[in-house]
A and B are shown apart, each in its own frame.
Chain A
């Protein structure tokens, strides 16, 4: 039994570059999944039953099929359609679509929680339906769903490790390369485990602070 963390020192820069790639992929996917989630949430709360059904099928499907299968579907399937995009873009697209299914649920809950009086007031003021949605409903819904969206982001950071299986050298992929150079899998993966845990812990702290800041005028209602 031999445990020595110092062998990792020369590789820290390489791992940091992997972490940057993970961060970039997660940031882009977060934006993508919030956009996707908002669109799907609109569809799920719309008056049209066809739209509602389509949105429900999307959420149901992407929540109940493992992410790795979705990823392979896009990674191997898209070139078949003549769409040649690199692993990073494929990963971001897959993460956005899968994350969108989860984000839509939280945004939908945010929309449904809005006081009907606010919408009535906006209608009386003569705002168009589009304006009511983009200027009133969506900002309130996004503001109250910051915390659940934060857990979507945390899940996304953890899920992004799966992108290493499509040759993307993000944090986990870089760690695999370091293992193959140092032959010290235990040290590398223990550090990696703690790095992910620390990262998600910091993100959850930041999300709590953001949530408190955005909802400071209604602290007693949302805690």
Chain B
């Protein structure tokens, strides 16, 4: 019976689990952001064939469960290609691709939110497409996209909890272990839930600060 009680070491376990979630969240968000922006560039330059492939891929990733994507990468890829894929690698690949799909959609709608006249006017002045992108499209699109991106990040943080299913020892997995050992589901899952909640709130808060900063130049400061 001795081992069925909570110990102070459990706190370290929980912290480690949360750390795994946050680390994977940060890494996959960064990779996903870069890939998603790359896909948006492919679309912006209207690269033939590739643009269609990218759109199809992002629709497929957006409209299927992350759990199935994880299974496909973790169980499917090794079976097809006879390679070794660790749970963390599989989680990184899947979450990055999934984030990229959503970033792509946000980036495309942000680019489309800019009136065609602006781009046309700039082109009339002889500005290249790259300069249009850099000086006219990107600053406005970034201000448009930051709100949806923060909402996406808060969501992706929660999605990281699914990696426990393929055996990554994250906060949910730790919760599972503690639940099985102590048989106190209410305490364990409440603590785990609150830790996720706190992390999500932190991401939302940081995102809001960043958004305010981006918009500071256009905000009315009074007289």
Closest to B67 in A: A161
Complex Cα distance A190/B79, Å?
A: 13
Instruction: Give chain A nearest CB distance to B204 CB in angstroms.
Output: 8
Is A158 close to B, CB under 8 A? Answer: yes
- Known: A66-B161, A172-B67, A196-B64; 6 extra A-B contacts, CB below 8 A, are A3-B80, A66-B160, A69-B189, A80-B186, A158-B63, A193-B60
Instruction: Give chain B nearest CB distance to A165 CB in angstroms.
Output: 6
Contacts known (A65-B193, A69-B172, A69-B193); A154 close to B63, Cβ less than 8 A: yes
Complex Cα distance A172/B201, Å?
A: 31
Complex contact A73–B190 (CB within 8 A): yes
Interface members, chain A 176-223 (any B CB < 8 Å)? 176, 179, 183-190, 192-194, 196-197, 200-201
Q: Give the number of chain B interface residues (Cβ < 8 Å).
A: 41
Complex Cα distance A80/B175, Å?
A: 16
Is B92 close to A, CB under 8 A? Answer: no
Is B142 close to A, CB under 8 A? Answer: no
Instruction: Give chain B nearest CB distance to A159 CB in angstroms.
Output: 7
Q: Interface of B with A (CB < 8 Å)?
A: 59-60, 63-69, 71-72, 75-77, 79-82, 154, 158-162, 164-165, 172, 175-176, 179, 185-186, 189-190, 192-194, 196-197, 200-201
Complex contact B162–A162 (CB within 8 A): yes
Complex contact B65–A159 (CB within 8 A): yes
Complex contact A66–B76 (CB within 8 A): no
Complex Cα distance A154/B62, Å?
A: 11
Contacts known (A185-B76, A189-B71); A196 close to B63, Cβ less than 8 A: yes
CB within 8 A of A68: which of B59, B69, B161?
B161
Closest 8 CB pairs between A and B? A76-B185, A186-B76, A66-B161, A161-B65, A185-B75, A73-B189, A189-B72, A64-B200
Instruction: Give chain A nearest CB distance to B148 CB in angstroms.
Output: 14
Closest to B66 in A: A158
Closest to A197 in B: B63
CB within 8 A of A162: which of B67, B190, B201?
B67
Is A136 close to B, CB under 8 A? Answer: no
Complex Cα distance A70/B194, Å?
A: 11
Chain B residues with Cβ below 8 Å from A162 are: 65, 67, 162
Contacts known (A72-B189, A193-B69); A66 close to B80, Cβ less than 8 A: no
Is A88 close to B, CB under 8 A? Answer: no
Complex contact A66–B59 (CB within 8 A): no
Closest to A68 in B: B161
Chain B residues with Cβ below 8 Å from A130 are: none
Complex contact B193–A193 (CB within 8 A): no
Closest to A179 in B: B75
Is A9 close to B, CB under 8 A? Answer: no
Contacts known (A196-B65, A196-B68, A197-B59); A65 close to B196, Cβ less than 8 A: yes
Chain A residues with Cβ below 8 Å from B158 are: 64-67
Chain B residues with Cβ below 8 Å from A192 are: 64, 68, 71-72
Complex contact B63–A77 (CB within 8 A): no
Complex Cα distance A1/B76, Å?
A: 12
Instruction: Give chain B nearest CB distance to A185 CB in angstroms.
Output: 4
Instruction: Give chain B nearest CB distance to A53 CB in angstroms.
Output: 17
Chain A residues with Cβ below 8 Å from B161 are: 66, 68-69
CB within 8 A of A183: which of B65, B79, B160, B175?
B79
Instruction: Give chain B nearest CB distance to A166 CB in angstroms.
Output: 11
User: Can you report 27 residue pairs joining A to B where beta carbons are below 8 Å apart?
Assistant: A64-B200, A65-B158, A65-B194, A66-B162, A67-B158, A68-B161, A68-B162, A69-B161, A69-B172, A72-B179, A72-B185, A73-B186, A77-B189, A80-B185, A80-B186, A154-B63, A161-B67, A184-B79, A185-B79, A186-B75, A186-B77, A189-B75, A193-B64, A194-B60, A197-B59, A197-B63, A200-B63
Chain B residues with Cβ below 8 Å from A77 are: 185-186, 189
Complex contact A70–B162 (CB within 8 A): no
Complex contact A61–B60 (CB within 8 A): no
Instruction: Give chain B nearest CB distance to A175 CB in angstroms.
Output: 8
Chain B residues with Cβ below 8 Å from A193 are: 60, 64, 68-69, 72
Chain B residues with Cβ below 8 Å from A2 are: 80
